[in-house]
Amino acid sequence: MPDLDPAVVALVADLARRAKAASRRLALLTRAEKDAALYAVADALDAAIPQVVAANAEDLERGRSRGMAEGLLDRLMLDEDRIRAIASAVREVAALPDPVGEVVRGSTLANGLQVRQVRVPMGVVGMIYEARPNVTVDAAALGLKSGNAVILRGGSAAEASNRALVQVIRAALAAIGVPEDAVGLLDGGGHDAARALMTARGLVDLVIPRGGADLIRTVVMESTVPVIETGIGINHVYLDAAADPAKARAITMNSKTHRPSVCNAAETLLVHASVAEALLPGILTELVAAGVGLHVSPAAAPYAVQAGVPFAQATDADFDTEWHRLEMSVHVVDSLGAALDHIAAHGSLHTEVIVTESRSAARRFVAEVDAAAVMVNASSRFTDGGQFGMGAEIGISTQKLHARGPMALPELTTTKWVVEGDGHVRV
């Protein structure tokens, strides 16, 4: 790792120390106190809509002037409806059970010792993410509810939005006596700031990256602080030989077009050869009508020609691409096994979808596919903490240790063992 600017390292260390001090106070708050803080934050966000929208407009203008893609601009954009939805998500987090203090397991031993494993906060959580200002609020809310202080390092594309949001949050916390350093923003410092955060071992307890493949790879490879890896979403919709045509159409369209810029959108459509002629021309026509650009394999090309829709010939690189926009790769496979092989070669372990009326095909797909979430006859867009009943999520983990899939409150805790005796000594 290159040498870091000492001034930036000192800045991060100071921010982390203040966050650490705040985390010790947060760990003592009751659920009622944490919920009150969250409701105060939500109300403050509603009241601050004009200034947040104005700050976001600065970011959008700068992004457009730099040629930012429409899909990324959509991720960046905040309007009144989105801010109210973000505030509503904070209230939903407040209504969720508090994970801190939950007894994971416990027993009374034969010698009378009472042993239990309980959930406790992580401490200080660093978030490194790109142009998603909603993540700023989601991370703060989930951190507060789980008793963690958070240090936020958002992308430069959303710097004005993030600054405005964090100012609102910190002011709301201070007004009700909760340490404002429970939510800190690492503003400025360039790449050195992010690297200083992910190497602040001893001050920061956990780092969670959220963004594109390059960002996640950098954090995973360079961090000395433990990392929960949130992966990109190269997600597939597989239309099985026993797919219901109406479900196939609806699920494909929703998975791709409902909000194409997010990580749970579908990027590749796989179709069993036995139903390709019946299903694919109509679905391709509907996709193109919705503005989707098609990247079609040689096996799928005849059906695109039959439909009379424009398409590009798909490359291997296309099947490894998270489009983040109205683009989709299309391929026809000879069997369920071939679909699973394609997913194994090109998937990102995020979300995989099968559309089928065959219970045996569904069972095999669920058992064999390697992904954090598997959908049977349901859109990929349901891989979301809110949709799973978790409230706002801090990210979707594609790793296999500690947390996998949508991460909410329990995933932001660790455990400690509490042992109570009555003068017990070991002999």
**Res. 295 pLDDT band, cuts 50 70 90:** very high
pLDDT above 90 for 392: no
Bridge partners, 153 (sequence order)? 128
Q: Are both 223 and 250 inside the same structural domain?
A: no
pLDDT at 308 over 70: yes
Q: Residue 29: which of 169, 137, 149, 150 has the closest Cα? A: 149
pLDDT at 261: 84
- 194 shares a domain with 125: yes
Check: CB of residue 321 under 8 Å from CB of residue 235: no
Residue 85 binned pLDDT confidence (cut-offs 50, 70, 90)? very high
Q: What is the pLDDT of residues 165-214, one digit of tens each?
A: 999 999 999 999 999 999 999 998 889 999 999 999 999 999 999 887 88
Q: Would you state the pLDDT for residue 214?
A: 87
Q: Is 427 inside a domain boundary?
A: no
- Better pLDDT: 27 or 72: 27
Tell me: pLDDT of 297 over 60. yes
Q: Let me know whether 201 and 318 are in one domain.
A: no
One-letter amino acid at 423 equals G
State which residues form the domain around 330.
Answer: 235-382
pLDDT tens digits along 328-383: 999 999 999 999 999 999 999 999 999 999 999 999 999 999 999 999 999 999 99
Residue of 263, 290, 279, 273 lying closest to 395 (CA atoms): 263
- Quick one: average pLDDT of 256-266? 93
Note the Cα 147 to chain centre separation in Å.
Answer: 20
Structural domain total, the chain: 2
Q: Does the pLDDT at position 1 exceed 60?
A: no
Residue 302 in domain: yes
pLDDT band at 2 (very low <50, low <70, confident <90, very high): low
pLDDT greater than 70 at residue 272: yes
Residue 230 has pLDDT above 60, yes or no: yes
- Can you read off the two tokens belonging to residue 5? 């600017």
Share of the chain above pLDDT 70, in %: 99
pLDDT at 45 over 70: yes
Confidence of residue 294 (pLDDT cuts 50, 70, 90): very high
- Mean of the pLDDT values across residues 146-169? 96
Cα 361 from Cα 357, distance rounded (Å): 8
User: What is the predicted pLDDT for the residue at 70?
Assistant: 84
Q: Is residue 409 part of a domain?
A: no
Statement to judge: residues 14 and 136 lie in one domain: yes
Percent of the chain whose pLDDT exceeds 90? 86
Question: Closest Cα partner for 292 from 320, 315, 317, 265?
Answer: 265
Q: Do 55 and 177 share a domain, yes or no? A: yes
Say yes or no: 85 and 159 in one domain. yes
Domain shared by 83 and 167, yes or no: yes
- Mapping DSSP onto H, E and C, the string for the chain reads CCCCCHHHHHHHHHHHHHHHHHHHHHCCCCHHHHHHHHHHHHHHHHHCHHHHHHHHHHHHHHHHHCCCCHHHHHHHCCCHHHHHHHHHHHHHHHHCCCCCCCEEEEEECCCCCEEEEEEEECCEEEEEECCCHHHHHHHHHHHHHCCCEEEEECCHHHHHHHHHHHHHHHHHHHHCCCCHHHEEECCCCHHHHHHHHHCCECCECEEEEECCHHHHHHHHHHCCCCECCECCCCEEEEECCCCCHHHHHHHHHHHHHCCCCCCCCEEEEEEEHHHHHHHHHHHHHHHHHCCCEEEECCCCHHHHHHHCCCCEECCCCHHHCCCCCCEEEEEEECCHHHHHHHHHHHCCCCEEEEECCCHHHHHHHHHHCCCCEEEECCCHHHCCCCCCCCCCCCEEECCCCCCCEEECCHHHEEEEEEEECCCCCCC
Say yes or no: 159 and 221 in one domain. Answer: yes
- Torsion angle of C-alpha atoms 225, 26, 155, 76, degrees rounded to 10: 140
Q: What average pLDDT does this structure show over 25-52?
A: 97
The DSSP bridge pattern shows strands 114-121 and 413-420 to be antiparallel
Per-residue CA distances from 38 to 52, 224, 280, 282, 388 (Å): 18, 31, 48, 47, 21
> The domain that contains 251 carries what CATH number?
3.40.309.10
Output the six-digit token pair for 222. Answer: 């360079």
Q: What integer best gives the mean pLDDT of the chain?
A: 95
393 found inside a domain: no
> 413 in a domain, yes or no?
no
Q: What is the arithmetic mean of pLDDT over 396-425?
A: 92
- Do residues 136 and 159 lie in contact, with contact meaning Cβ atoms separated by under 8 Å? no
pLDDT of 229: 85
Can you give the CATH number for the domain in which 10 is found? 3.40.605.10
